Structures are given as structure tokens and as C-alpha cells.
Amino acid sequence: MYVLIQGLLSFFAALGFGIIFNAPRKMLFHCGLVGGAGWLIYLQCNAWWTDPVKASFLGAFTVSVLAHLFAKAFRMPMIIFSVAGIIPLVPGGLAYNAMRHVVEHDYLQAIPIASQAFMVSGAIAMGLVFAEVMIQLLFKFVIKNGALSK
Amino acid sequence: MAGTEAQELAIECCLLAGRLMMEAGAETYRVEDTMERMAQAHNLRMTHSFVTPTGIIFSPGTPHHTQLIRIKKRSTDLEKIARINDVSRKLVTGDYSLEQAYMQLQTIDRVKVVFPFWLQLLAAAWASGCFLLLFEGHWRDLPAAILAGGVGYIIVVLVNEVTKVQFFAEFVASLGVATSAFLMVYFGQGNELDKIIIGGVMPLVPGLLITNAVRDLMAGHFVSGLSKGAEAFLTAFAIGAGVALILSFR
């Protein structure tokens, strides 16, 4: 039940961002799907390892892979699907907490949180790029073998 | 049509497509790729394009002059990117003639296909509510987060329209988010100020800029990567400063 609610919420959050970023109307649903899937993976991995850095990496990886698949299927730029999907993973809460500690002149508390926010955003970026490289290798391999000629 | 005239039009076409895509927030490598494909479809072999977030330098090869085009405004418009992508694909496969493609691109430039403002506002407010719950906030704080997100989005759009300074607009908007969240908590309509503010600030977060900046850097487009990263950092700093100002009065 918890997972279902979280999935629905992240689906609608990504959908909302699709509207804000003016995504093509027919693709809004898919934007939501990408966002929901990425968040669920993040949530699940975070529950296993309690390490938001790894979880963010895998979440972003999922988002990017799905975005590439949708992009190939609908012949649209992948950015349409990935942008809205990545938003829930952005470490807004960590950055906010770091900021709050700085404002309260509690610099020692702020530094570890800020470093974690930095690591998480790095992990998201790595996830995006790794997925892209792998997908490109995969498509090259598939095309070379002629198994799936589009 | 005579060869050179057609090529001049093709160059115009490339530049227009490049400018539109960059204004809509496309990735740098995609813009360069699109421009080069369009040029190659019209026998411009030795093209070079250098795309940055603030301008495009395009060199179409020996008989033609190198051209520079300035990019003055930057926003996020995924619909526009998709439509330009479609035009360039059709131009390369030969479904569109050069004139048709140029006409299409000009139409895309003139006619804006956007969601109505009230729907965008609703989406922003709605997304803020969702984020509150995603970050394990309580259902009771939902109205406060929705209000804060809506207020932030209205302010960022209006101030940006008036002042044209993104940085300032984001700062004022996050001030608005934090103030409305603070007032809601003050009048007993919300409990966790932190979660409400985080939810309300989410629509302002420069998500597209961050992802694009890193992808550009990894693809070797260091100039655009660094400048987009700087823009994202400024925006994030503006949001943080706005929130921090209100928190420091608490």
C-alpha cells in the first residue's frame, strides 16, 4: 500500500513537472511513468542499503534507460522524458537542511549534509550518463547483429 | 533552385533551428547534431558548429561566410524541442523541402504552443503537494504546501516577466514560498515548516539545467557545461538565500 501510494504520488509529481516544462501533450503520461519508476527504484534501494547515494544512482539510471526506450519508441528527444523524471531525485531536502544550518550559524552540521547533497547530485549525473552509454552500446550491438533493424 | 541560393537558405534554416532549440533548453550536443545533419542533407560537407548557451557560431564551409547568432532568452519548452526535432527529421529524410522546413521553423518561432497559465499554476501547486508527501510529510500539511508552491510559481513567472532577471525572480519567489509556509504554520494550518518549504520550493529547482550541465560536461562540451552549471548554481543559490532570509527572522 505504501509503495502504491508513493508510486502514484511520484507519477503525479512528474506529470505536474511535465506540464510546467510544456512537454508534448501525448507524452505527459509517459513522463509520469518514468518519474514514478525512478522514484520507486530509489525508494526500494534506499530501504535496502540506507544509502541515498547508491539509491539515487540507480534511480537516475532507471529514469535514463526508460527515457531512452521511450525516445526510441516514439522518435522524440529523450530529454522530454528524463527531465520530469529526474526532479523527484534532486536532493532538495538535503540542500535545504544544509542551508538552514548555515543560516543558524551551525556550520559544522551544515558541512556533512552539504557534502551528501553534493554526492547525491553527482550520483544522479553518473546514473544518467552511464545509462546513456550503455543504451548506445546496446543499440549499436543490436544493429550490428541485425536482430532488430528499425 | 540554384545551388548556392539553396545552400544559403539551408544555412538560414540551420541557424534558426539551432537558435530555437537552444532557447527551448535542448542539450548542446543535440543542437550541434541537428544543425550538422540538416546541413549535410543539403550538400554542406565541411560544417562546424560551436554551440554555447548564449550564442551559436556556425561555419558552413568555404564559399559561405561563418555566421554568429546570439541567444538572448533561455527557457524550458519540451514541446518546441520535439517539434523542431520532427521538422529536422523530415527535412533529412526528404519529406519536407527546404522551403517547407523553413516555413515550419518560422511558425514554431512565432506561434507558442503552451499550456494555459492556470493549468501550469495548478500543476506546480499540485507537484508541491506531491513532494510534501514524497518527502514523508504529513497529510495535514498538504494545503500549506499546495499554497506555498502556487505562490512561488506565480511570483517567479510574474517577476520574470517584469524584470527579465531570472536570479531575482527566483529569489523573490522563494521568499514568497517561505513566507507563506511560515504564515500557514503560524496560523496553525501546518506543522512541519521544513517539509512545507521543501515541497513548495521544488517547482523552482533548476532540474533541467543541472542534468544538462553534467551531460554537456561529460560529452566534452566544456564551455556550455560550465556556463549552464553556473546558471544552475546561481538559481539554487537564489532559492537558498530567499528561504534563508525568512528562516533567519524566525
Which residue matches cell numbers 529514469? A63
Distance CA B205, CA A103 (A): 20
In this structure, are residues A120 and A53 in contact, taking their beta carbons and an 8 Å threshold?
A: yes
- Range B128-137 average pLDDT: 88
Q: Is B126 in the same domain as B225?
A: yes
Q: Is B71 in the same domain as B163?
A: no
Q: Is B123 in the same domain as B178?
A: yes
In the three-class reduction of DSSP (H, G, I as helix; E, B as strand; rest coil), residue B185 is classed as: helix
Angle (nearest 5°) at CA B165 between B159 and B166: 80
Judged by CB atoms closer than 8 Å, whether chains meet at A16 and B123 is answered as: yes
Judged by CB atoms closer than 8 Å, whether chains meet at B131 and A129 is answered as: no
Which residues in chain B are closer than 8 Å to A100, comparing Cβ atoms?
194, 243-244, 247
Which residues in chain A are closer than 8 Å to B115, comparing Cβ atoms?
19, 22
Q: What was the pLDDT predicted at A59?
A: 94
- Among B93, B110, B127, identify where a domain stops: B110
- Range B67-79 average pLDDT: 88
Largest interatomic CA distance in chain A: 62
Nearest-neighbour CA in chain B from A87: distance (Å) = 6
In this structure, are residues B200 and B145 in contact, taking their beta carbons and an 8 Å threshold?
A: yes
Judged by CB atoms closer than 8 Å, whether chains meet at A97 and B194 is answered as: yes
Q: Is B128 in the same domain as B195?
A: yes
Q: What was the pLDDT predicted at B114?
A: 82
pLDDT tens digits, residue range B192-243?
A: 888 899 899 888 887 778 778 877 887 788 998 898 888 888 888 888 888 8
Interchain contact A133–B (C-beta under 8 A): no
Judged by CB atoms closer than 8 Å, whether chains meet at B248 and A128 is answered as: no
Residue B222 has a CB neighbour count (10 Å cut-off) of 10
Percentage of chain B lying above the pLDDT 90 cut: 31
- Among B49, B82, B110, identify where a domain stops: B110
Domain region containing B51: 3-110
pLDDT tens digits, residue range A71-105?
A: 989 988 888 888 888 888 888 788 888 888 888 88
Q: What was the pLDDT predicted at B60?
A: 84
- Range B132-156 average pLDDT: 90
Q: Is B78 in the same domain as B171?
A: no
Q: Is B129 in the same domain as B105?
A: no
Q: Is B235 in the same domain as B181?
A: yes
The closest of A31, A53, A42 to A125, measured between CA atoms, is A53
- Among B51, B84, B110, identify where a domain stops: B110
Q: Is B56 in the same domain as B132?
A: no
pLDDT tens digits, residue range B20-57?
A: 999 998 888 889 988 988 888 887 788 888 999 889 99
Distance CA B74, CA B55 (A): 11
Judged by CB atoms closer than 8 Å, whether chains meet at A17 and B203 is answered as: yes
All cell numbers assigned to B80: 518546441
Which residues in chain B are closer than 8 Å to A23, comparing Cβ atoms?
78-79
Q: Indicate the pLDDT class of residue B115, thresholds 50, 70 and 90.
A: confident
A107 class by beta-carbon count within 10 Å (0-12 exposed, 13-18 middle, 19+ buried): exposed
Interchain contact A116–B (C-beta under 8 A): no
In this structure, are residues B137 and B200 in contact, taking their beta carbons and an 8 Å threshold?
A: no
The closest of B151, B222, B143 to B189, measured between CA atoms, is B143
Q: Is B131 in the same domain as B212?
A: yes
Question: For chain B, where are the alpha helices, taking DSSP H only?
Answer: 3-24, 28-40, 78-93, 98-110, 117-134, 142-163, 166-186, 193-201, 207-218, 222-248
Q: What was the pLDDT predicted at B45?
A: 80
Q: Is B239 in the same domain as B130?
A: yes
Judged by CB atoms closer than 8 Å, whether chains meet at A96 and B201 is answered as: yes
Q: Is B105 in the same domain as B133?
A: no
Q: Indicate the pLDDT class of residue A54, thresholds 50, 70 and 90.
A: very high
- A72's CB contacts (< 8 A; 6+ apart) are A139, A150
Nearest-neighbour CA in chain A from B2: distance (Å) = 33
- Range B126-140 average pLDDT: 88
Q: What was the pLDDT predicted at A150?
A: 43
Q: Is B41 in the same domain as B11?
A: yes
Which of B127, B208, B211 is the closest to A128 by Cβ?
A: B211
User: B126 to chain A: nearest residue by CA?
Assistant: A16
Interchain contact B30–A (C-beta under 8 A): yes
Q: How many domains does chain B have?
A: 2
Q: Indicate the pLDDT class of residue B1, thresholds 50, 70 and 90.
A: very low
For chain A, the domains span: 2-144
Q: How far is CA A21 from CA B73, B118, B156, B191, in A?
A: 15, 14, 14, 31
Residue A49, pLDDT above cutoff 70: yes
